[in-house]
Structure 1
Amino acid sequence: MELKDLFLTPIFLIIIYAIAYGLRSKFTNKQTRKYFIPALTLKIIGALSLGLIYQFYYGGGDTFNYYNSSKIVTQAFYDNPSIGIKILLSNGEYDPETIQYTSKIYWYQSPTEFIIIKIGALFGIIGLNTYSVIAIFFATSSFAGIWALYTTFLKIYPALYKQLAIPCFFLPSVFFWGSGFMKDSVTIGALGLLFYGFYMSFIEKKKLFSSITLTILATYLLLSVKVYILLSFLPPALFWIFLENNNRIKNKLIRTIAKPVFIVFGLLVAYIGATTLTAGDERYDIEKIGERTKINSEYLSEYVSSGSAYNIGTFDGSIGSMITVAPQAIIVALYRPFLWEVRNPIMLLSALEASMFIFLTLRIIFRTGFWKTVQLISSKPILTFCIIFSLVFAFGVGTNSGNFGTLVRYKIPLMPFYLAALYMMQAHLKRPRKLRRLAVTA
């Protein structure tokens, strides 16, 4: 960060808060109004804190690599707007007109990184190439997606506006890692928009133009940045849609017959979608995913000097061997690091969050029994979606990470969904009649 950050950041903060206060009444009600500005503030604090920690604790890192590259694109735009636009529209190809700029961009031919650089450059054009201002724009954009996630949950459980604010806004790992000038803020914001878009388009079937537009935008961002999030989301989301629509069939016989058809069709569509999206991609092709997972896990485990590596067992890259380590992978993603595994302050935050997950999960199971808990999850489509998505995603990041340092960032997309599901189940056990009444009147 530079001296200009100190002068420009307050100005842009005033502008952003003025806009936020102006829009608050449009996107809130009397229950959610009090969370709008504090949630935005936490995102901004997370974005600025991430930059400070990377600068003064780590001495650099990805966020500044993105920034230094985005400055080149922004400068190209300042020098010659047509060349700047050409770089923003490029896809890593060689061009004599832009080579003097693109040759300096380390990730120019790495699509998943280059799109973050492009977004940073767009924000940089507005924010005068200032790191903290760009980070604030990332935080604000991510907040829009998280707010969409929160309001979607409340469409289903309006009585839980207090409880559901916690997983959406107040988990430290989520607002820290998911707010700054990084991939994670883009992807978690896009995931929130995708969740909202799916619900409005295929379940409520309202505001179709805007919701489908948001769905397409979110899908594009996830496909461009971290396609594995989209792959984890797609099957349980389609399953959720089919379950919701199946439950609306009034005739019990037809509903019973239709349910397995919906399930099979949903799984088929999800598989076709996953294989189509990843075909030919060296990193995510379904045919090669086991091998890549093994390589990633070994690489990330070896390059750890902080003592934060974990071991989920031996697997050779085959799908069968990955299934054998699935329970350990899911446990490590959801419930670890344990408190006694903490090696640094960031790990401590993650361990406290994991401890909360353990406590709430065990309390629900001990109070109702394992099978009754499973029955509750299977009886509510939104719970089915949240749990399946969380388990699928936990399996993926648990087998790929190899150490807690990367895991704490990789797993943030599942955290709001898993904790939200726990609060929903807890509410069903405490006051099911009130929840049903509010759901009908909402």
Structure 2
Amino acid sequence: MSLLFYGLHLLLIVGLVSWMQRQDWASTLKPYFLPALVFKLLCGILLGLLYRYYYHSGDTITYYKASLVLTDYALQNPGAYSKLLLFNTFSSEAFRATVPFSKFPDFSNSFYFIKLLSALNLLTRSSYYLNALYLSLFSFWGAARLVASLQACFPKRGKAAAIAFLFFPSVVFWSSGLLKDALMFGSMCWLIFFALKITHGRKARAGQLILAPLMLYVFVRIKLFYAAVLIPLLLAYIFIKLVSRHTRMGESYAVQVGSFLFVLVLGALAGSLLGVFFSLDFLLSEMHRNYTSMLEVSRHGPHIVLERMGPGVEQSLLSYPEAALSAVYRPFLGEAWGALYVLMGLENLLLLVLTVLFFAAALRKGFQRPPLLHLVFLIFVLVLAGVVGLTTPNFGSLSRYRIVFLPFLVYLLLQNAYAQRVLQKLGL
């Protein structure tokens, strides 16, 4: 592939970055914008190098090779490819058998991802690393937009948001590159930004109104279960904030929190009775199936064993505390000595230190009354930490899957007085 072709794409990426920098929201990120962007794009490239030359396999390679099948199909039969892209209609069963992840095309998030990737291939001439840069840029765009919004809504907590979403190592690394997680992370951040836009009285622009349903669709298609947790939380938050703006509810923090929890529980009960997302039995059986299947292929390396884990409600509840704590703090430093495990252990040690600082500050100064949004984040962390821990015994996969809740946890842990003092001493 010619240097001119790569040069044109790099100019396009520079143009997109320049456009982002000229937006009003980007001015609040001036100290962080370019360093965070370079870090993100570099991680997207490093992720590909890691899987290609160290692991020699993995999801990113599988998705890329699968997308090439669809891209070749697009070049040979553009009309049939268009039908496949829009309606999951295959020209023949013989061709369908050659396409990975196509057994249940209407439900498979992997098939949805490779369709998007195949379309991107037409722009990049199937360049793996150009694709990785574009996906990393999308993920950064969503994260940076959310950080800017958090800074505008909670000015004293802006540094914590920047560290959690733009610089925390595993969050940035695993939300970069040619993986579904880059799309998940970017669209998730956009959805939370939209919720803040609605609830804090800032008028949405026409482009944002178009983006909102698109990001919702991408997030739901890529990670349906994550959406089943986050969307009700955001809807309950939006409802309570809008009602409190026009009633006396806004005068009482306790009433807001109580009403939020009531709406959330009521919605969860209604959703479970109507089977809006999943039945409880189906969900628990799928979680147990994922856990056992991953455990089988993880026994040769460091992994988590949940002795009480099973498909029933009682077994899941008994396993939840260990699973949630493992999702946050394991592997411990020294639990495994591979290079990547040591890096994970160091990051987890940092999380443990932040947790100790948080509770030490709370014991000495008392718990501060958190904004309602922080309660939303806390519930999201508690639910997803348990779910990820219950379904992911493999430490390597755990480091990747926990990025859905980890930045929110880091953001919350950095709110305490001790952590803020350390950030000030570091000049952050």
TM-score category of the 2 structures, normalised to the smaller one = 0.7 to 0.9
Alignment of 1:31-110 (within 5 A): 31-91=28-88, 93-96=89-92, 101-110=95-104
- 1:28-64 alpha-carbon deviations (Å, 9 max, x no partner): 4544123223222222211111111111111122212
Q: Aligned AA for 2:188? A: L
Partner of 2:372: 381
- 1:81-115 alpha-carbon deviations (Å, 9 max, x no partner): 22221221133x4434xx56543211123421111
Q: Distance in 1 between matches of 2:159 and 2:420?
A: 17
1:206 aligned onto 2:203 = yes
Q: Aligned with 1:192: secondary structure?
A: helix
2:391 aligned residue (390, 397, 400): 400
Q: Distance in 1 between matches of 2:389 and 2:290?
A: 11
Equivalent pair of 2:414/2:420 in contact (CA under 8 Å): no
Alignment of 1:224-235 (within 5 A): 224-235=221-232
Partner of 1:349: 343
Alignment of 1:163-312 (within 5 A): 163-204=160-201, 206-207=203-204, 210-242=207-239, 244-245=241-242, 248=245, 251=248, 255=252, 260-273=258-271, 279=277, 285-312=279-306
Q: Aligned AA for 2:262? A: V
Equivalent pair of 1:201/1:208 in contact (CA under 8 Å): no
- 1:314-358 alpha-carbon deviations (Å, 9 max, x no partner): 122112221112211111111221101133222222222221111
2:408 aligned residue (386, 407, 417): 417
Equivalent pair of 1:73/1:87 in contact (CA under 8 Å): no
Q: Distance in 2 between matches of 1:163 and 1:371?
A: 19
- 1:167-226 alpha-carbon deviations (Å, 9 max, x no partner): 111122122211111111111111101111122124435217554543322221222121
Equivalent pair of 2:66/2:114 in contact (CA under 8 Å): yes
Structure 1 pair 364–291 and aligned structure 2 pair: CA distance change class (3 A): same
Equivalent pair of 1:47/1:135 in contact (CA under 8 Å): yes
How far off is 1:405 after superposition? 1.5
Q: Distance in 2 between matches of 1:260 and 1:153?
A: 23
Structure 1, unmatched stretches of 5+, are 432-442
Q: Distance in 2 between matches of 1:277 and 1:32?
A: 42
Q: Aligned AA for 1:344? A: G
Structure 1 pair 415–409 and aligned structure 2 pair: CA distance change class (3 A): same
Q: Distance in 1 between matches of 2:35 and 2:270?
A: 41
How far off is 1:241 after superposition? 3.3
Q: Aligned AA for 2:211? A: L
Structure 2, unmatched stretches of 5+, are 423-428
Q: Distance in 1 between matches of 2:405 and 2:279?
A: 22
Moved more, 411-420 or 193-202: 193-202
Sequence identity, in percent? 24
Equivalent pair of 2:48/2:60 in contact (CA under 8 Å): yes
TM-score, structure 1 as length reference:
0.85
TM-score, structure 2 as length reference:
0.88
Q: Aligned with 1:412: secondary structure?
A: helix
Q: Aligned with 1:311: secondary structure?
A: coil
Structure 1 pair 71–147 and aligned structure 2 pair: CA distance change class (3 A): same
Structure 1 pair 267–358 and aligned structure 2 pair: CA distance change class (3 A): same
How far off is 1:370 after superposition? 9.0
Q: Aligned AA for 1:394? A: A
Q: Aligned AA for 2:149? A: T
Q: Supply the RMSD in Å over aligned alpha carbons.
A: 2.9
Q: Aligned with 2:22: secondary structure?
A: helix
Moved more, 325-334 or 99-108: 99-108
